[in-house]
Amino acid sequence: MKFLKKYYWIVLVLIPLYYYAITLGLVRNDTEILLPGDITPVEEKVKISTAFEQEGSINSVFVYVLSRTTDLMNNYSKDFVGVTIRDMSPTSSLLTSTELKISGDINYETGLQYSIIYGYLSADKQIEYSLDGIFISHVYRELNDELPVGGKLTHFDGEHITSLTQFYDFVDANDSATFTVDGKDYYVEKQDYYGTYMFGMRIKPNYIIETEQKYEIENSSVRGSSGGLLQALSIYNQLTEFDYSYGKVIAGTGTLSADGYVGNIGGIRQKIIAADREGVDIFFLPIGNYEDALDEHQRVESNMILVPVSTFNDAISFLEGYDE
């Protein structure tokens, strides 16, 4: 009895505190922390054998993203400059950490393929590319719990996929299908997802690319497709005799579609901070991200030139007229 009275305060105070600390430190939430990252010269990631010399550098910008953070991590980091804490998207929160990594890797690889194709075509250099299957980059688990993230889709209803047009025409015309993914068949029906009638997945085309001017791709830990615009700009500059870098540090962000349109990205405030810290002179960004970027640009009192663009050609036009 005396023992219980003596250690009564432990039961009342220390055990609850211990439980609270464990809960804060170990229980993962569907939240993520964004922090300013760094810039990476694209010519170090995509090296063209016959590249022309450039005096400046063209860089992609990345942010650090910590997913499924704990309350302790969120509370500790919330007051740091440049940190954003946000909820994960409902669709991403249902994927495993491994699936999220695979999705990011696919987005990076296919985004790089778009950049190579568009950079070579814009520089009028010989390039041939053909579809080699379609990767499943994301699965809406609310609609489908079987399709594998990262799987390679090669057939629909037994028919070999030879082009994106063929695939999209089939998807538009059918409400159900048997998709062959990594040699295994999956029967899938279209379902409504917040007003969009879909098969419950996002896809990315995979290409086999052949070029006259050979290139090498270095391994990278970067994920996602937000470097597409700057990758294409760097490749274009390596292939053209005129140096569009002008000896400046050029950086930026934005996805790039197969037809040259620049798409919005996340983490624009963190990317502005990272670029400003690294002394970037010119920063390209999607026009849809401009207002947030301008707010952060003014907050840090940056001297960078912000260049909002809608297409790859907008960026080239700016650089062509930069001397003037």
Instruction: Record the tokens describing residue 125, joined without a space.
Output: 């250099």
* Portion of the chain with pLDDT greater than 70, in percent: 91
Q: Can you give the residue ranges of every domain in the chain?
A: 1-89+219-324
SS3 label, residue 5 = helix
pLDDT at position 66, please? 85
Instruction: Record the tokens describing residue 100, joined without a space.
Output: 């999220």
> pLDDT per residue over 270-309, tens digit each?
999 999 999 999 999 999 999 999 999 999 999 999 999 9
- Exposure string of 166-184, with b = 16+ CB inside 10 Å and e = fewer, is ebeeeeeeeeebebbbeee
Question: CA nearest 56: which of 324, 319, 309, 321?
Answer: 319
- Better pLDDT: 303 or 74: 303
Q: Which of 36-40, 70-74, 105-109, 241-245 has the lowest mean pLDDT?
A: 70-74
Task: Please check whether residue 156 is in contact with residue 167, taking contact to mean a CB–CB distance below 8 angstroms.
Answer: yes
Burial of 250 (0-12, 13-18, 19+ CB in 10 A): buried
Write the class of the CATH domain 1-89+219-324: alpha beta
* Tally of CB atoms within 10 A around 222: 16
Residue 20 clears pLDDT 60, i.e. is over it: no
> pLDDT per residue over 212-225, tens digit each?
989 888 877 677 78
* Tally of CB atoms within 10 A around 312: 27
Residue 143 clears pLDDT 50, i.e. is over it: yes
CA distance 111 to 8: 61
Residue 248 clears pLDDT 80, i.e. is over it: yes
Instruction: Record the tokens describing residue 80, joined without a space.
Output: 């740091």
Q: What are residue 181's phi and psi, to 5 degrees? A: -125, 120
> pLDDT per residue over 144-197, tens digit each?
999 999 999 999 999 999 999 999 999 999 999 999 999 999 999 999 988 889
pLDDT at position 4, please? 46
> pLDDT per residue over 231-241, tens digit each?
999 999 999 99
- Model pTM score: 0.85
* 158, 243, 258 from 153: Cα distances, Å: 11, 41, 19
* 25, 95, 267 from 11: Cα distances, Å: 21, 39, 45
Instruction: Record the tokens describing residue 50, joined without a space.
Output: 């016959």
Secondary structure letter of residue 134 according to DSSP: E
